[in-house]
Amino acid sequence: MAIKTVADLKKQLHKAGIKTYRNKKTKASYVKMSDVKKVLADFDDDDEPTEPDEEDIRFTTKSGKISVATEHDFIGDFTELEDAEKAAAEWMNKNKFWPNLWDVSDHGNESLMDADDQTRIKGL
């Protein structure tokens, strides 16, 4: 199970038997970070997608151009990677949707962008 939301994390904590504590003064619930780290250490990264979903954004390089699109929306063609990344970020912000980002080679090979690149681009 991929942990994408706070609700996903809570489910994993509960499933792992992590105790929830309550602050008597503020009534806020909390867990110990050491317990959370145990759950995250056991998290299986094999849940990472192996191919793009139709709503994921693809950066396809062909003939010196970078085409940015989902299966349903064409975002644009660019000569500079920086411009392509900025356009993808603007599209995500406009649509209030931040899908996975994929590199597609000129041979059609698809590879999920690493987490650092995805975070950087989504933050533009």
pLDDT by residue, tens only, the chain of 124 residues: 566 777 777 777 777 777 778 888 888 777 777 777 776 666 655 567 888 999 999 999 988 899 999 999 999 999 999 999 999 999 999 999 999 999 998 888 999 998 888 888 888 7
Nearest to 63 by CA among 83, 78, 84: 78
The model's pTM: 0.61
The letter for the amino acid at 76 is: G
* Number of alpha carbons in the 13 Å side-chain half-sphere of residue 21: 9
User: Who's near 98: CB < 8 A, 6+ residues apart?
Assistant: 92, 122
Question: In whole angstroms, what is the distance from residue 35 CA to residue 101 CA?
Answer: 31
